Structure 1
Amino acid sequence: MSSLQCIGRRRGALALAGAVLLTLAAIEVLSDEPEIALLIGEPYEAMRQRSSASIDPAIPGHSWFNVPKSNARLRFADPQFGFVTPLARFFTVSFTDEKVRSVRMSPQIEPLLLDDTIKVVLDLQEQWRKAGWTPIKVDYFPSFADTPQWRAQLRDVNKGGKTYWHAGNQYQVVLIVNRFRDQNRPTEERYLITLALATPWTNP
């Protein structure tokens, strides 16, 4: 084997090792992110025990909501229909009779630029597709896509976008995107994403 071949193989091995280390580091960072891991309808305390983010206990005999005490991502822990969001600053978990009733959140920690907004919503939709969720009411609320038409609609402060998805007859999610005036960046186009998750509240 020539010296050039040896150098080439060593470089290839180093590149592979570097890629593996970067992947492991990314997994470790993701796993270290505070998360609320829940199932709709489960005992609220089970959610608290499973989650790495701190959240107050439910109030017995009440219908109300709590907010995680730090930024946190949602990990919907259903074995078939599960998905994971980015870190969120606005995040509420509602409960009734000490059971998880619904989630309402913005899967972001600040208003996003349009490219980043589209990346988040497309990633969520792809997770849902792979897990067996189905878009509903598509004649009125089509799924988000990275097209000139969708970009123009989202830039319109009077329109924005909305899409509904069902997981069989067990769960429903709605994803909403709107222009948002960020007082910290008044000259930039920023966007707010809203996600709501519960048992189905509309027909397919």
Structure 2
Amino acid sequence: MSWMQRIGGRRGSLVLVVATIAAWMTIELQSEKEIALVIGEPWEDMRQRSSASIDPAIPGRAWFGMPGSDARLRFIDPQYGFVTPQARFFTVMFDDEMIDGVRMSPQIEPLLLDDTLKVVLDLQEQWHKGGWTPNRAKDFPSFADTPAWRSRLRDVNKGGKAYWLAGDKYQILLVVNRFRYSKRPMEERYLITLGIHKSRGVR
């Protein structure tokens, strides 16, 4: 076998490996489950639209459901929509089979500070582009990657929170706190909590 044939064979093997990895990544992305909803819609509409499984609502009750797997939230309001990362803690509240709110941590596990800020700033950027506006910003300014914010988040007694409004339709509370993660006790890890509800006065 000539050296050119050998090189050609190696290139062919490399192409095959790259193609296999690309196909695997595509399958993995497609397999990510999501809950697609908008607050105020019928629970069953969300169930039919979402790729993640979630149990039916209980008629006449105010309670909550949780996806049967890790899932991202796709908030599908035509103006104020956004998408979160995959979440392990994810609850959707209902009242008489109508979606009443969402409470979740948009992460699979507690994150390092750099990764926490990346998630939080991406969410805020989506909200900003979608027309959400900061609320109570004088007392609760939006998160930023600054030395002051990093110092505050590292303080176990402080953490941070920010409020956002989507006109008179929805409100968001975004909270970040230091979290002791038993699997990595020597690392600084953080928990993000996201709460979404109707704005006051919205029916």
Matched to 1:62, the amino acid is: R
Please give the alpha-carbon distance, in whole angstroms, between the structure 1 residues aligned to 2:174 and 2:41. 23
Counterpart for residue 109 of structure 1: 108
> Per-residue displacement from partner, 1:60-109 (whole Å, max 9, x unpaired)?
01000011000000000111100000000000000001000000000000
Distance 1:48 1:170, change over 3 A: same
Question: Could you tell me how far apart the structure 2 residues matched to 1:198 and 1:48 are?
Answer: 19
SS of corresponding position for 1:141: coil
TM superposition shift of 1:201: 4.2
Q: Superposition pairs for residues 65-104 of structure 1, below 5 Å?
A: 65-104=64-103
The residue aligned with 1:177 is 176
The amino acid that maps onto 2:76 is A
Q: Which residue of 1 aligns with 2:137?
A: 138
Task: Note if 1:37 corresponds to 2:36.
Answer: yes
Note the residue ranges of structure 1 that are not aligned, 5 or more in a row. 1-17
Q: 1:114 to 1:25 in 2, by over 3 A?
A: same
For residues 193 and 60 of structure 1, the distance between their equivalents in structure 2, rounded to whole angstroms, comes to 31
Aligned position for 1:153: 152
- Gaps (5+ residues) in structure 2? 1-17
Q: CA deviation at 1:25?
A: 8.4
Match for residue 128 of structure 2? 129
CA distance in 2, matches of 1:42, 1:186: 41
SS where residue 48 of structure 1 aligns? helix
Q: Which residue of 1 aligns with 2:58?
A: 59
Provide the residue aligned with 2:9 in structure 1: none
Distance 1:27 1:106 in 2: 25
What is the TM-score when the length of structure 2 is the normalising length?
Answer: 0.85
Q: How many Å separate the matches in 1 of 2:24 and 2:122?
A: 21
What per-residue deviation string (whole Å, max 9, x for no partner) do you get for residues 10-33 of structure 1?
A: xxxxxxxx9xxx7x9877654431
Q: AA paired with 1:197?
A: I
User: Within 2, Cα distance between the matches of 1:136 and 1:128?
Assistant: 12
Aligned length: 182
Task: Quote the residue 1:13 is aligned against.
Answer: none
What is the TM-score normalised by the length of structure 1?
Answer: 0.85
Distance of 1:191 and 1:201 partners within structure 2:
30
Q: What SS class does the counterpart of residue 186 from structure 1 fall into? A: coil
- Matches of 2:100 and 2:161, distance apart in 1: 22
- Name the CA distance, whole Å, in 1 between partners of 2:126 and 2:28: 20
Q: Give the match's secondary structure for 1:107.
A: coil
* Pairwise CA distance, 1:194: 0.1
2-structure distance, mates of 1:166, 1:108:
22
Q: Aligned residues: percent identity?
A: 68
